[in-house]
Every structure is written in C-alpha cells, then in structure tokens.
Amino acid sequence: MNKRENSTTEEGPETKEDNTSLTSPNDQEQDEPYIHKVGVPPKQNLLKEIKSGVKETFFPDDPLRSFKDQTKARKFILGIQAVFPILEWGRDYNLTKFRGDLLAGLTIASLCIPQDIGYAKLANLDPQYGLYSSFVPPLIYALMGSSRDIAIGPVAVVSLLLGTLVQAEIDSTTNPEAYRRLVFTATFFAGITQATLGFLRLGFLIDFLSHAAIVGFMGGAAITIALQQLKGFLGIKKFTKKTDIINVMQSVFGSIQHGWNWQTIVIAATFLFFLLFAKFVGKKNKRLFWVPAVAPLTSVVLSTLLVYITHAEKEGVAIVKHIDQGINPPSVKELYFSGEYLVKGFKIGVVAGMIALTEAIAIGRTFASMKDYQIDGNKEMVAMGFMNVVGSMTSCYVATGSFSRSAVNYMAGCQTTVSNIVMSIVVFLTLEFLTPLFKYTPNAILSAIIINAVINLVDLHAALLIWKIDKFDFVACMGAFLGVIFFSVEIGLLIAVSISFAKILLQVTRPRTAILGNIPRTSVYRNIQQYPEAIKVSGLLIVRVDSAIYFSNSNYIKERILRWLADEEELTKKSYQNRIQFLVVEMSPVTDIDTSGIHALEELNGSLKKREIQLILANPGPVVIHKLHASKFPDLIGQDNIFLTVADAVSSCNPKMMDEA
C-alpha cells in the first residue's frame, strides 16, 4: 500500500484536488501528501485547571449564568425564583391553565386517597398517615419543584422498604409508638439526604444504580408487594412478617383450611377484575384515561356500601374500622435525635431517600421529555428533601413521585404543579370531614387496589429488551429481581447496587481494544471485526484503545496490546508475511491518561524496542497530549512519531519499510 492509497479518494479528479489541499505550501510535489502534526495546547494555570474541573463536575449547567451583569435587587429576585420556581411561572398563570390543573388535581385525588390508605398499611402504619403524606408534601413540592407533571405522595416500593427496614428494628404491633417515631426519624434523614445531594450538586450519584438494576428491583418489589396483599385478599389473620416468597407462600398455604375467608375472596376478586377492566378500557381509549383513575375510589365506595349493608364484617371480613379525623398533628418532638435509634433512623433514611429520589427523578425526566421541557435535577432533590423534612415534622412518612398518579396527571392535562395543590386540598377535605365514612371499608379492596397499582412495575418488555441488548445488564436485572423476591427488599437493593458497581469496575478495568484495518480505496481505518472488508496493513499493527487510561486499567491495556502483537507476529510467520515493524495506537477515544497510564506506555515502548518495533501514536486528545509532553514521553518515542490521523501514521511508515526492504 502506498501513500496515495492512504490519503486520497476513489476518483481521479478528486484525488488531485485532495492531494493539493494536503500539500505543504513549501512542497510543490502534488503526489506527496502533507503529514499533519498534532498540536500541543498551551499549558493551563493550575488554579484555573482545578476550577474548570470542579465546575464541569458539579456545575455543568452553569446555574449562575443568569446572575451575571445583574443588579443586586435583580439577583435577589432571581435567587428567590431559583428556590421557588412558582414565583417565576406563576406570573403567566391564567384561567385556561387552572382548568387543566383543576381537572388533573381532582382526578389524581380520587386515585391517591384509596392508594394512600393501602400504602400506609404496607408501611405498617395507621391509614391516616398515608393521607397525611399526600397533604403536606405536595404543597411544599408545588412551591419548590420544577416538574409540571409529577404527582407527589406515598408509593408502594418506598412504603414496603420502610415497613421492612423499620420492622426489623421495632415491632409495629407490640410497640407502635416507637415504630412510628422511627419512621418519622427515617423520613427526616431521607429528606436531609435528598436536600444535601441537591445543595452539593451530587445528583450524579443516583445514576450509579443502572436502569437494568432498577427494572429488576422494581419488578421484584412489585411481586413482593402483591404477595404481601394475599393476607387482605384471602382474609388471612395470621400472616408472616417476612417478605420473601418462600415464607409468604408457606404462610398462605399453611392457612388454607382455617385461615381463608370466602366472602373476603369474593369481594377482592370481583373488584380486582373491575380495576383491571377499567385499566384495559383506559389503555384502549386514551380519552377514557379517567376511567382507571376513578376506579379505585369507586371500588372503595361500592365495597364499603356493600359491607355496611350486609354487615359482612360479622362474617369475618376485615375492615378499616377507624381513621383519625383531622389534619396532620405535629411530630417534631417524636423524632429521635439521640439514643440508639438515631443511627438506625439515619441508615434507613439514607436508603429510603435514595430509592425515593431515583424513582422521582426518573419519573420527572420521563414526562419532561414527553412535553419537551427541562427539569433541574439538583433543584428537584432540594425540593424533595425539604418536603420530606417538613413532612417528618407533620406526621408524614417518605413521599416521592408516583408513576401511576403522574401518568394520570399527565393524561388529565395538568399544566403546572397547581394540580398537586388541588389534590392536597381534596385530601385536606377528606381528612377533615370524610374519614368516618371509611369505617366499613374492607381491607380486601385495599389489597386489590395495591395489586392493581403494582402490576405495571413488572416490566417484562424492558427485561426482554435488556436481554437482547446487554447480557451483563440482564444479570444485574435478574440479580436484583431474585434478591428481592427470595430474600428481602434490602438484600435485593444491595445486589442491585453491587452488580451496578461491578459493571462499572469491569468496564473501567477491562476496556475494549480493537485491531484496525484499512477500508479499501479510502483513508479510513476501522475495526476489522465490525468491517470484514477492512484490510490489515502489512508490517503494521494498528490498535485502538476505547477508554481513558488510568491506574485501574493501564496494565491490562499494555498486556492486551502485547497479546495482540504476539498473535499477529505468529500469524505473519505462518503466512510468510513481512514482520511487524510498527505499532500504531489510535488514541482518539482516550479522553484522559494519568501517571500510571504514561508509565504503562513507557513499559510498552520498552518491550517494543526489544523486538525492534517502533511505537507510533495517532490523534491523542488535548488533555492526553499535554500530559504526554509534560512527562517527555514524545522524546522517548521520537517527536515525529505522533500523528493527527492513522492514515498519516501509515503514510509515514511506508517509506521507512521500503527503505529497510
């Protein structure tokens, strides 16, 4: 292969023009390509370099940009608006938007009231605490949140997580007051965790939990939640407090002779069918979105009337019996700020806060992309944090964004967070005036509502897609799923986080490398495995490193390249081809390199010299070339052995190989 083949195009006239453009101004030979050299960026001031790195890591969106060149009064107003976005968009609020928010708020209120009562039981709390958590937190979020579509309140997964973790410390049956206090304490620290992440702009930490792990965890949690509802669905009185599938099924089948209540099963099965049918109707016709939204409240009303009229509670049908009337009582004095439960509340709060935050941010981003607007992840964290801190002081437990309610909110035509305010007002009226009406509500209907709500968390389509795309991701997904259903929620969460970190470490420590070949009649070099038509260049081995080179992977990269080289040398001997004289390392994907990486390159160069092979670098980035020059590595391999492109490197090698021949 000659120089012209490496740096020109297929057709004659274009070849001449391209060669002219590549020719050095001082060189009149148009058949000789001009070899571009890699420029070295000017050395940056150390303080500026650190400042730039910190800004890019923690302030990539440059939140202070709007404060530049503003008066002090204007800066104050902008600062207040940054904390309370409602003050900004509220100026343009009108009656048309309010109509959309009013309809959406009423719709999600009809969905949240029965769900909240059921979720409170899932968290081993009295029913009113679920309603409390849909009154205060949505009001705080409406003032501070930036998502227009998210609906705030208790959710099934976090309720189960809190109920499991707190129950492991304090028995909710024997010591309900201490249990409740620990729940409030965990909620307080969940809010502190969320707000701290937002203030310090550390939201990227929640991205360490991969999408695959979340799909598996949510699916496992959904099945666990559904299995827990068999107690209310079948009317079982004595039920295991463990959440794994083995203990639950043993408890279910162990009570089949004397523990099941047929009246309860009829009520639960009938209304579950009704709820599933309503959901089917809503999916078939998007205009009927309100049908599955109002179905839970309708079910509660009808089942309550049925039990009241027939006095089914006398036949063993378990009912709610009592919900405290009135709005949230203060709970500041109930928080544990000392003693052994302080640390336990902190640990539980951090876990619950991170899970709640992950779910809320995912929901917010989903609906923001559907409506083509941006949400500030860090502001969302601060808003979530404040609402949970305030909630912990007003008898609420951890609240976050609910996917089912947010979807209904979106389809109902919500315009702003005012829909959360409307929902909160409806919950307030319910607490003040309507809670006595829930006295005869059967627990079976609450179980049916929860089962209906969590079914969508089992995303088989997403799991199948993960299997098709990435088998390691599927392992993470199934690991989290099986961990939740066979062990516990916290074990499943631990497995999900562990596998996510393992994947990151594997990708960092074992980056991909590839051998490149020339695409015939072009100056393009591509992976020979991806492009079978790519041809290896005789006497050269061209390798691409698809990762930054750090202490964690530098030795692996060096050894991987040497293994490539050994394999190629063996092949050339068998096929009687020219021996390898040059190793070209394509470094365009190498975004950074540290001292260990440079040391590995030095060792690689030493190994190559013993084999009489010249090391050549192609297209190192500005950060990499700056560090290479700082370490005087170009002097080690030769200043003329760093090129702009692989084509330039190959063109420079051809004459040398011809001279040796």
Q: Which one-letter amino acid corresponds to residue 287?
A: R
Q: Decide: 153 and 399 in contact? Cβ < 8 Å.
A: yes
Q: Quick one: which of 600, 492, 413 has its CA closest to 243?
A: 492
Q: Which residues contact 247 (CB under 8 A, 6 or more apart)?
A: 240
CA angle 277, 280, 282 (to 5 degrees): 115
Q: Decide: 243 and 224 in contact? Cβ < 8 Å.
A: yes
Separation CA 468–CA 462 (nearest Å) = 10
Per-residue pLDDT, 54? 57
Q: Decide: 391 and 131 in contact? Cβ < 8 Å.
A: no
For residues 5-21, average pLDDT: 38
pLDDT of residue 191 exceeding 60, the answer is: yes
Per-residue pLDDT, 56? 53
For residues 124-143, average pLDDT: 94
Per-residue pLDDT, 98? 92
Residue corresponding to tokens 């002090």: 72
Q: Which one-letter amino acid corresponds to residue 340?
A: E
Q: Quick one: which of 115, 138, 134, 167 has its CA closest to 454?
A: 115
Separation CA 553–CA 241 (nearest Å) = 46
Q: Quick one: which of 491, 534, 497, 538 has its CA closest to 514?
A: 534
Angle, helices 245-254/211-228, rounded to nearest 10 degrees? 20
In 3-state terms, what secondary structure has residue 616?
strand
Per-residue pLDDT, 18? 41
Q: Decide: 492 and 483 in contact? Cβ < 8 Å.
A: yes
pLDDT of residue 30 exceeding 80, the answer is: no
Per-residue pLDDT, 29? 46
For residues 96-102, average pLDDT: 91
Percent of the chain with pLDDT over 90: 40
Separation CA 456–CA 241 (nearest Å) = 25
Tokens standing for 514? 């590839």
pLDDT of residue 155 exceeding 80, the answer is: yes
For residues 494-503, average pLDDT: 82
511-653 CATH: 3.30.750.24
- Phi and psi (nearest 5°) for 542? -110, 120
Q: Name which of 75-89, 261-275, 479-493 the model is least confident about.
A: 75-89
| Domain ranges for the chain | 87-501, 511-653
Q: Decide: 126 and 179 in contact? Cβ < 8 Å.
A: no
Per-residue pLDDT, 607? 92
Per-residue pLDDT, 46? 60
Per-residue pLDDT, 20? 39
Q: How confident is the model at residue 36 (pLDDT cuts 50, 70, 90)?
A: low
pLDDT of residue 303 exceeding 90, the answer is: yes
For residues 474-492, average pLDDT: 88
Percent of the chain with pLDDT over 70: 88
For residues 41-49, average pLDDT: 64
pLDDT of residue 644 exceeding 60, the answer is: yes
Per-residue pLDDT, 6? 40
For residues 341-361, average pLDDT: 91
Separation CA 360–CA 115 (nearest Å) = 18
For residues 507-511, average pLDDT: 85
Segment 198-253, tens digit of pLDDT: 888 777 777 677 788 888 888 898 899 899 889 889 988 888 878 888 988 988 88
Segment 162-179, tens digit of pLDDT: 999 999 899 998 999 999
pLDDT of residue 2 exceeding 70, the answer is: no
Separation CA 345–CA 336 (nearest Å) = 8
What's the pTM value of the predicted model, to 2 decimals?
0.76
Residue 316: HSE in the Cβ half-sphere, 13 Å Cα cutoff: 15
pLDDT of residue 55 exceeding 70, the answer is: no
Segment 408-456, tens digit of pLDDT: 888 888 999 999 999 999 999 999 999 999 999 999 999 999 998 888 8
Tokens standing for 139? 């009001």
Q: Decide: 438 and 184 in contact? Cβ < 8 Å.
A: no
Separation CA 601–CA 547 (nearest Å) = 14
Average pLDDT, the chain: 85
Q: How confident is the model at residue 538 (pLDDT cuts 50, 70, 90)?
A: confident
Q: Quick one: which of 585, 591, 297 has its CA closest to 430?
A: 297
